[in-house]
Amino acid sequence: MPFSTPLAIVIFLTIWFIALFAILPFGVRSQQEAGDVVAGTDPGAPVAPKLLAKAGWTTLASVVVFAALVVFARYFGE
């Protein structure tokens, strides 16, 4: 591993949060688009955000990106 353990954790978490914010908008339908606006809520609120599934996809994407970074740092780093 070309990084110390604390640095690797920080890098992975940074990648994870960036990926999360990139993945969050996929597949979101607002209440207005679905035609089912609940009284007292914003019409732009998501109907079913599927956060657990998105966390899984985020983790998978982060593992792939982190592994590529480790390989890159291992073979092309100083």
Judged against a pLDDT cut of 80, whether residue 39 lies above it is answered with: yes
State the pLDDT at residue 73: 96
- For residue 5, give every residue at least 6 positions away whose Cβ sits within 8 Å of its Cβ, in sequence order, or none: none
Average confidence score pLDDT of the chain: 94
Query: Is residue 29 pLDDT above 90, yes or no?
Result: yes
Greater model confidence, 43 or 1: 43
Domain assignments of the chain as residue spans, ordered by start: 5-34+46-76
Q: What is the pLDDT of residue 49?
A: 92
Averaged pLDDT, 48-55: 95
Q: What is the pLDDT of residue 1?
A: 84
Dihedral Cα 40, 45, 48, 54, nearest 10 deg: -140
